């Protein structure tokens, strides 16, 4: 016999099962230099919050071998790094089978290859799509809006600055050392979220970031555009 729900338990059940977008926002992954356990952590958060949609906030791959930073000579070559990254991305591709849609915000590291080709004078027709190279079927985009919330990678400042400048709720990644949600009031109420990241700062592939502060290992939840919060990964 199914138990009857009542009181606060019933209210919580109705909130968790209300027909609205429940988006899991995944921080910068930087495959293959992702923190061990970050994928499983995100899967747990997705399940516990009854999410139905996934957004990767950018920098799916690191591309250290072709970065505009000096590449670490102790790392594997470009072909090997790409194969390791593809293997990591395939784990993420298969991680959320119940998601109604998966969007990827294109980050600055994702653009490295196209920027290098552009600089070399190679026409864009020669460039394969992200889905072709990585074996995914995701929607890759520079920006997307759901429930009056814009999702961007965030290379021009913090989420709070962008939200106030645009007077629009904003979710972004890019800054690995920040993780927060703030609400602002102007002509309307808007929210700013810095998602955090899933980067393994101690991996040799992230040696260019050694001088950075401690990484905020986290993801974000956005519900219907009206509720937003971070979930921190245990360390």
184 with 163: CB under 8 angstroms? Answer: yes
Q: Is residue 45 part of a domain?
A: yes
- pLDDT tens by residue, 192-204: 999 999 998 777 6
Could you tell me the sign of the dihedral formed by the alpha carbons of 48, 49, 55, 59, in that order?
Answer: negative
Task: Phi first, then psi: give them for residue 130, nearest 5 degrees.
Answer: -60, -40
What length is written for the chain? Answer: 235
Q: Is residue 208 part of a domain?
A: yes
Output the pTM of the full model. Answer: 0.91
Q: Is residue 167 part of a domain?
A: no
Q: Is residue 157 part of a domain?
A: no
Q: Is residue 182 part of a domain?
A: no
- pLDDT tens by residue, 32-86: 999 999 999 999 999 999 999 999 999 999 887 776 666 667 676 778 889 999 9
Query: Quick check: bond before 82 cis, omega within 30?
Result: no
Candidates 170, 177, 141; CA nearest to 60 is: 141
Domain ranges, residue 127 = 21-143+198-232
Q: Is residue 224 part of a domain?
A: yes
- Mean pLDDT (the chain) is 90
- Give the pLDDT of residue 233: 97
Residue 1 — very low, low, confident or very high, per pLDDT cuts 50/70/90? low
Q: Is residue 154 part of a domain?
A: no
| Beta-bridge mates of residue 197 | 28, 217
Average pLDDT over residues 107-129: 87
User: 184-193: long-range contacts (C-beta < 8 A, 24 or more apart)?
Assistant: 184/160, 190/163, 190/164, 191/149, 191/163, 191/228, 192/158, 192/159, 192/160, 192/162, 192/163, 192/164, 193/25, 193/159, 193/220, 193/222, 193/228, 193/230
CATH number of the domain residue 96 falls in? 3.60.21
DSSP string, 60-118: -B--GGG-SSPPPTTS--HHHHHHHHHHHHHHHHTS-TT-S-EEEE--TTTTHHHHHHH
Whole-angstrom distance, CA of residue 231 vs CA of residue 190? 20
Domain count, the chain: 1
Q: Is residue 43 part of a domain?
A: yes
3-state secondary structure of 213: coil
């Amino acid at each position: 016999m199914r138990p009857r729900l009542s009181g606060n338990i019933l209210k919580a059940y109705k909130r968790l099962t209300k027909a609205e977008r429940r988006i899991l926002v995944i921080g910068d992954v930087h495959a293959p230099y992702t923190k061990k356990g970050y994928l499983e952590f995100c899967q747990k958060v997705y399940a516990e919050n009854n999410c139905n949609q996934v957004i990767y906030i950018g920098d799916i791959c690191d591309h250290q071998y072709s970065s505009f930073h000096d590449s670490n000579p102790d790392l594997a070559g470009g072909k090997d790094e790409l194969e390791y990254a593809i293997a990591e991305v395939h784990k993420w591709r298969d991680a959320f089978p119940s998601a109604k849609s998966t969007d990827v915000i294109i980050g600055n590291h994702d653009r490295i290859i196209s920027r290098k080709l552009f600089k070399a004078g190679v026409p864009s027709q020669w460039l394969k799509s992200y889905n072709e190279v990585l074996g995914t079927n995701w929607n890759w985009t520079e920006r997307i809006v759901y429930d009056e919330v814009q999702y961007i990678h965030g290379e021009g400042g913090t989420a709070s600055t962008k939200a106030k400048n645009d007077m629009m709720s904003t979710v972004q990644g890019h800054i690995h050392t920040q993780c927060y949600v703030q609400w602002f009031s102007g002509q309307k109420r808007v929210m700013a979220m810095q998602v955090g990241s899933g980067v393994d700062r101690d991996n040799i592939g992230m040696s260019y970031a050694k001088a950075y502060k401690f990484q905020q290992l986290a993801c974000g939840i956005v519900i219907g555009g009206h509720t937003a919060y971070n979930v921190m990964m245990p360390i």
